[in-house]
Structure 1
Amino acid sequence: MKCKFCDKPAFIKLHYPKMYLCEEHFMEYFERKVKRTIERYRLLKPDERVLVVVSGGKDSAVTAHILKKFGYNIECLHINLGIDEYSKKSEGYAVRQCKKLGVPLYIVRVKELLGKGIGGVRTRRPACSYCGLTKRYIFNKFAYDNGFNVVATGHNLDDEASFIFNNLMNWNTQYLAKQGPVTPAGFNGKLVRRIKPLYEVTEREVVAYALANGIQYEMDECPHARGATTLEWKEILNQMEEKRPGTKINFVKGYLKKKGLFEVELCESELRECKICGMPSSGEVCSFCRFWGLEKPMDFRVKE
């Protein structure tokens, strides 16, 4: 098949909207969608310092690539989770991705920082649960300590649709009230604004864009993700998308329109400073300090 806009061979077949595109026109299409997302949801201002959290995977690599291409002032943070060979490979990919882009990369290694890596803690909590808690705390604290205006993550449309679906199925209204392409700053700046530039592009489109731009990334799945319910929700949504193209984007956009139906169970006015680290907490001690048993705050300020 040929590209819809020229005589070149098709690089990809899009299911929604249905069309064939060559490599050049696909990249234009993808970048236009991301730029529209940034503008529609007012994710970024031209002069802001942006911290892109890079895992070594495709989504964060594409996020860093495209924000750099758009001319934003980006620096990157990689959180090595201490998961044996998987984390070693992921860090290697993150280093190479940032070197290719010519942007600064900071690395925080969980095992060096906290004594144990993800999966190495004896707890009843699933590894994915405290992994998410750990990553969110570290990248927010790092951004706050170093004066970044915003944190960018690589969540794509498939991630968002499965997250909303999961929380609807379990009626987690606290999460449903706060989900979206941007999480505003709060608590006197200690909660740094978070954005998702890939909010309206599918995982399949991200893979194709990485391929078109020669972006190498970690393809292995985290060993702790096997059996995760989010993967099951993604599979269900993929089946629905196959039968009715456009299901995911319409589901997510519909959620955003009705987001106000969900009550916020925890207002910022109910937050307080953690007595150990001083960061926002719903109790005397924040979840991060409580889980990891910290007795003093961590300082992520980068020394010149």
Structure 2
Amino acid sequence: VSGGKDSAVTAHVLKKFGYNIECLHINLGIGEYSETSEIYAKKQCEIIGAPLHIVRVRELLGHGIGEVRTRRPTCSYCGLTKRYIFNKFAYDNGFDVVATGHNLDDEASFIFNNIMNWNTQYLAKQGPVTPSEFNGKLVKKVKPLYEVTEREVVAYALANGIEYKMEECPHAGGATTLEWKAILNEMEEKRPGTKINFVKGYLRKKGLFEAELEEEFKECKVCRMPSSGEVCSFCGFWGLEKPVDFRVKK
């Protein structure tokens, strides 16, 4: 849970349907934005009675997001960091599934972006469910809000009294996905149903991209997690020399 609406609604729905869930909040170390996000995440989990685990990037890696001098876009290495932590935390603690709050608007913009850039490796792997791989080291992932629009998520949050952080991340300005979202919103306004038809069409044709899938996993020599190279992107970017242990002390 990030403190925002999507992950809060996802947790609320899963709890409502009787799933045994625990929540993970990643404090990105982005000043006041991250501190208030953590406060919202705590409130959201307290209301539904779900255990909350918190990982603080600055404490873990020495720098917050946005503090690293790199040519890599901030959103890029932030996404890399969050994906790794979600998966490694789940693996280290024996969770069966990682559920994220990506909604229809998110998925449509991601797919649109990767079609525009012909990123066939991404297009071959995405969907509402990603199976576990590499002897369980890549934990199964699900997106319960995959076909739910952003407006519907907001409506659910309001109807159920879910409070959430509304401010965008200060590093999100100029992100390409926001441009694609704006284009898709305009198309949706003119032709209602554009987004869901686009995403469902992609899922029907996904097999065309799977034929081009080239990725073969190795074991990262630092953390022993799946990697396309000798060292995984996370360990390489953060310059790690030993694995991070996310096991919760009981």
| Class of the TM-score when normalised by the shorter of the 2 chains | over 0.9
Q: How does 1:27-106 map to 2 (within 5 A)?
A: 54-106=1-53
Q: Distance in 2 between matches of 1:266 and 1:290?
A: 21
Which residue in 1 is equivalent to 2:214?
266
Q: Distance in 1 between matches of 2:186 and 2:54?
A: 38
How many residue pairs get aligned? The number is 249
State the AA in 1 paired with 2:64: G
State the AA in 2 paired with 1:249: I
Structure 2: runs of 5 or more not aligned: none
Would the aligned equivalents of 1:77 and 1:106 in 2 still touch at CA under 8 Å? Answer: yes
Q: How does 1:115-154 map to 2 (within 5 A)?
A: 115-154=62-101
Match of 1:195 among 138, 142, 151: 142
State the AA in 1 paired with 2:224: G
Q: TM-score, normalised by structure 1?
A: 0.81
Q: Distance in 1 between matches of 2:160 and 2:246?
A: 33
Would the aligned equivalents of 1:178 and 1:264 in 2 still touch at CA under 8 Å? Answer: no
Match of 1:291 among 237, 243, 248: 237
Match of 1:206 among 153, 173, 176: 153
Which residue in 1 is equivalent to 2:203?
256
Q: Distance in 1 between matches of 2:85 and 2:231?
A: 16
1:51-98 alpha-carbon deviations (Å, 9 max, x no partner): xxx100000000000000000010000000000010001000000000
For residue 272 of structure 1, report the CA deviation from its aligned partner. Answer: 1.0
Which residue in 2 is equivalent to 1:174?
121
State the AA in 2 paired with 1:91: E
SS in 2 for 1:141: helix
Q: Distance in 2 between matches of 1:231 and 1:113?
A: 29
SS in 1 for 2:22: strand
Which residue in 2 is equivalent to 1:43?
none
For residue 264 of structure 1, report the CA deviation from its aligned partner. Answer: 4.0
Identity percentage over the alignment?
A: 83
For residue 266 of structure 1, report the CA deviation from its aligned partner. Answer: 2.9
Q: TM-score, normalised by structure 2?
A: 0.98
State the AA in 2 paired with 1:194: K
Structure 1: runs of 5 or more not aligned: 1-53
Q: Distance in 2 between matches of 1:155 and 1:176?
A: 16
Q: Between Structure 1 and Structure 2, whose CA radius of gyration is higher? A: 1
State the AA in 1 paired with 2:132: A
Which residue in 2 is equivalent to 1:51?
none
Q: Distance in 2 between matches of 1:284 and 1:242?
A: 47
State the AA in 2 paired with 1:265: L
